[in-house]
Amino acid sequence: MKILYFGCDDFGIPSLEKISGKHEIVGIVTAPDKPGGRGMKICSNIVKEWALKNNVNVHQPAKLDSIFIHFLKSLRIDLILLISYGKKLPQETIEMPTLASINVHPSLLPKYRGAAPMEWALINGEKETGITVIKMTGRIDEGNILASRKVDISEKDDIFSIKEKLSLVSAEIIDRVIDDIDEKGLHEYPQKGVPCYTRKLTKDDGLIDWNLPSYRINNLIRGMKEWPGAYTFLQTPRGGKCLKIFSAERTCQNGSPGKPGEILNIGRDSIEVACGTGSLSITEVQVEGKRRNRVSEFIKGYRILPGAFFSKGRNCSDGQA
């Protein structure tokens, strides 16, 4: 089978590895190179690197215009596979393959359609998520289902571990789906249930409200760990200092051990903070302008005493979490 792949990040790499040994990847369409890192060097993404390593033609159009679509038609492809591409395909492109255009979506559709399904599943405290393979239509994430599989979310999972789990599961499912299409043709069924939509994350979404229960704040930290990061402000005599929190554990789950945002205890490896209900022990942080550190390193450079406060702004007084 001749397959054209659309994708921009490492989520789809296991799927590429799985299918490339059985089918012909005639091309990979990914994002253009962009400047980044020290010296603003031009950086290519991991999908392009995989293509070059495996001698697959790679294409990086700034937009999917008529000239590029005309070129794609010359490839005479059987299937389009889209995983984490980040752009909507024109209808003309979707209808191009002889068999189908299919998309791997990291949720159990129709729940969590949209831009950030894994992040919002964690933030909302879901106990399970999954992978859904759909036949693409002109409407985002609304196509008929070809296959799906549930994946449990544990309290220890964060966005990185969930991405890894779902990435590996998607490779297994897409391998089976493509084999089925090749041997038996499409077997599809409509999505059932009430659709739930997710929007892109913004930096403001990461601001911690210490009046919330500890489990909700911990869910936010887990879901925001990749970007933008859950953050708060440590109140010091010189004003608030922004602090990103990357890892925490629920210490006290019930009651009100202190005022929301109040630092209750400072141990060798953690800082316990009161929440609206319960408390959290913070274990990994990053001060603005500094590198990410374990709390054991952080407290060596900052004199923090129990009774100090984390807050929602740089100029909040004690107790205004």
- Over residues 75-99, the pLDDT tens digits come to 999 999 999 999 999 999 999 999 9
Average pLDDT of the residues in 201-220: 97
Q: Are 152 and 278 in a shared domain? A: no
CA distance linking residue 163 with residue 14, whole number of Å: 12
Q: Are 119 and 191 in a shared domain? A: yes
Q: Which of 267, 226, 265, 233 lies closest to 247, judged by CA?
A: 226
Please check the confidence at residue 319 and state whether its pLDDT lies above 50.
no
CA distance linking residue 148 with residue 170, whole number of Å: 9
Q: What is the pLDDT of residue 115?
A: 93
Looking at 180, 198, 216, which one is the last position of a domain?
198
Please check the confidence at residue 69 and state whether its pLDDT lies above 90.
yes
245 is a domain residue: yes
319 is a domain residue: no
101 is a domain residue: yes
Looking at 140, 173, 198, which one is the last position of a domain?
198
Residue type, 15: S
CB atoms within 10 A of CB 154: 9
Q: Are 260 and 156 in a shared domain? A: no
Q: Are 246 and 124 in a shared domain? A: no
pLDDT band at 36 (very low <50, low <70, confident <90, very high): low
Burial class of residue 164, CB neighbours in 10 A (0-12, 13-18, 19+): middle
Q: Are 95 and 29 in a shared domain? A: yes
183 is a domain residue: yes
Domain holding 250: CATH number? 3.10.25.10
96 is a domain residue: yes
Q: Are 25 and 163 in a shared domain? A: yes
320 is a domain residue: no
Average pLDDT of the residues in 139-161: 97
- The range of the structural domain enclosing residue 85 comes to 2-198
Instruction: Find the helix or strand (DSSP H, E) in which 266 lies.
Output: strand 263-266
Q: Are 164 and 215 in a shared domain? A: no
Q: Are 176 and 218 in a shared domain? A: no
317 is a domain residue: no
What total of structural domains would you count in the chain?
Answer: 2
* 215 Cβ contact partners less than 8 Å away, ≥ 6 residues apart: 125, 250, 253, 278
Q: Are 192 and 269 in a shared domain? A: no
Q: Are 16 and 98 in a shared domain? A: yes
318 is a domain residue: no
Domain holding 115: CATH number? 3.40.50.170
CB atoms within 10 A of CB 73: 12
CA distance linking residue 84 with residue 105, whole number of Å: 8
